[in-house]
Structure 1
Amino acid sequence: MARRQPRLAAGRARALGVPTRGTTAPNRLRRVDRWLAAAAWSPLRRAADPLVVDVGFGASPVTTVEMYERLRPVRSDVRVVGLELAPERVAAAQAAARPPGLLFALGGFELAGHRPVVIRAMNVLRQYDERAVGSAWAAMAGRLSTGGMLVEGTCDEIGRRACWFTLGAGGVPATLTFSAHLPSLLRPSDLAPRLPKALIARNVPGEDVHALLAAFDLAWERVAPRGTFGPRQRWIAAAALLRREGWPVLEGPRRWRLGELTVAWPPGPR
């Protein structure tokens, strides 16, 4: 049976998309939230209206509640709106709402008319055909306020491995981030199953993401002696080696030590 494509649902908000599978768990998105609390610091600080939208919060609002709590130290007046296309999920989430700072509403890629400074859309596009990704990006990014950012990607069921893009108002990727629980990681390419939807089928020879993961694995092997001091030191050394070899690795040891690696995307010639 052909996979159902995104649609405009009937109703007042004309919500764009199809309901998520709904799977979620406490702390599943802690890695992207931790990164957001640092990367979104400037957009949130500058924003006249510090509005954040969480697209597709699932069967439980728990990860939206957690994001609200994690972003409040960045901006105490942050407002977070969790969106879902399933009315029963929105109704169930109302018990967790904390007006005016934390709200839940019916909506999808059209963001229910909101113009946020930050959008988080994790584990949403995984269920779509790759051909639908660009239009979903455009719909969400087109609603960003000036200087805003969209974070879209995938993580595993318990939040130990995650990958995500950041996009600006043009709906074009600017960075790609890998984040992992290092003690349980055998090699960087173990993150491949958690690539964003736009990359999951492109992890093949000749594609940038395949070349990056292969180079990261090779760097990981070359700095294996650093593993004597623990996986964190090995990851830091591998990230530094990737940068020396010409990959556009961003940030530095302060973020690398958390099991993160962010690169400019697309990476361009090396």
Structure 2
Amino acid sequence: MASSPLGRPTRGTTGTNRLRRNDRWIAASAAFRAASDPLVIDLGYGASGVTALELATRLARVRPDAEVLGLELDPARVSTARDQLAEVRAGRTPFDSGIRVSFERGGFEVPVSGGRRPAIIRAMNVLRQYDEADVADAWRTVAGRLATGGLFVEGTCDELGRIASWVDVTADGVPARFTISLRLAELERPGIVAERLPKALIHRNVPGERVHDLLVGFDREWDRAAPLSTFGATQRFIAAATALKAQGWPVLGGRSRWRLGELTVPWSAVAPRSS
């Protein structure tokens, strides 16, 4: 247990299935699948330990040896999560009683016993209360705790987990990719993610910034693909992503990710311009 955890307490609540899109991304990542020690940290999990339990459940389908450690600054939140875990162990919840999850107090220093280094650290809805100027240092501090080849996934989502975005940061603290993840059913337009951009980008959604260009272009192609709505939002999203790529946007992945409502680009494609 850390004596002086680094960071500020999170203010938000925690919702069941709120981070399902991010869980899926982590489970599919090479950093997790190829890890020699598939330890994953749910940093700043919030008022309930449910996100760590859900993450562990989804990761175990890919690697039964996966382990999740939930970290929170607030001792009361750690106590609450441990009480929830006791209910799980007693078989009184839908979660597997043997689920590989634990909860400790900790922050950006990411305390892990035994000198272990996690394959993945994720922090969703944590940095939104910080200043943009604080982000790079937070990335470097947290990423410095990763195993070689590990990944720090940092971002934001709405309360129901239907609108999300995040940044993949490598173990040397360098941002590598930016991902938008949207629930396609009833989606009005991809640009709705503007209100849920990571802290490093949310104030950069203005003319002249790369992320603004991406969202404007994505909305434009979404509108152009409106006739495909007859065949469903998935086909419309795929058409819009295909058009963006044809225009020269360095869109990563392909239809298998697009049909999930995900669009990923290298960080360089959206990185803030110098102030």
Paired position in structure 1 for 2:156? 154
Paired position in structure 2 for 1:175? 177
Distance 1:202 1:27, change over 3 A: same
Task: Work out whether residues 78 and 105 of structure 2, in 8 Å CA contact, stay in contact via their aligned partners in 1.
Answer: yes
1:50 pairs with 2:38: yes
Distance 1:216 1:100, change over 3 A: closer
Match for 1:229: what amino acid?
F
Match of 2:9 among 19, 23, 36: 19
SS of 2:11's equivalent?
Answer: coil
SS of 1:182's equivalent?
Answer: coil
Range with bigger deviation, 100-109 or 141-150: 100-109
Task: Work out whether residues 2 and 106 of structure 2, in 8 Å CA contact, stay in contact via their aligned partners in 1.
Answer: no
1-side partners of 2:207 and 2:31: how far apart?
37
Match of 1:116 among 96, 114, 118: 118
Task: Work out whether residues 46 and 77 of structure 2, in 8 Å CA contact, stay in contact via their aligned partners in 1.
Answer: yes
SS of 2:228's equivalent?
Answer: helix
For structure 2, the residue ranges without an aligned partner over 5 or more in a row are 90-97
Q: CA deviation at 1:100?
A: 8.0
Task: Work out whether residues 44 and 70 of structure 2, in 8 Å CA contact, stay in contact via their aligned partners in 1.
Answer: yes
Task: Work out whether residues 157 and 164 of structure 2, in 8 Å CA contact, stay in contact via their aligned partners in 1.
Answer: yes
Aligned CA RMSD, in angstroms, stands at: 1.7
2-side partners of 1:256 and 1:268: how far apart?
18
Identity of aligned residues (%): 58
2-side partners of 1:155 and 1:195: how far apart?
8
For structure 1, the residue ranges without an aligned partner over 5 or more in a row are 1-10
Range with bigger deviation, 27-36 or 181-190: 181-190
Paired position in structure 1 for 2:262? 260
Q: CA deviation at 1:22?
A: 3.8
Q: CA deviation at 1:214?
A: 0.8
1-side partners of 2:186 and 2:47: how far apart?
28
2-side partners of 1:89 and 1:268: how far apart?
35
Alignment of 1:134-153 (within 5 A): 134-153=136-155
Q: CA deviation at 1:87?
A: 0.4
2-side partners of 1:29 and 1:83: how far apart?
16
Q: CA deviation at 1:186?
A: 1.1
For this pair of structures, how many residues does the alignment match?
Answer: 257
Paired position in structure 2 for 1:36? 26
2-side partners of 1:23 and 1:254: how far apart?
32
2-side partners of 1:23 and 1:266: how far apart?
32
2-side partners of 1:171 and 1:195: how far apart?
19
Q: CA deviation at 1:217?
A: 0.9
Q: CA deviation at 1:14?
A: 2.5
Match of 1:82 among 70, 73, 76: 70
TM (norm. structure 1) is 0.91
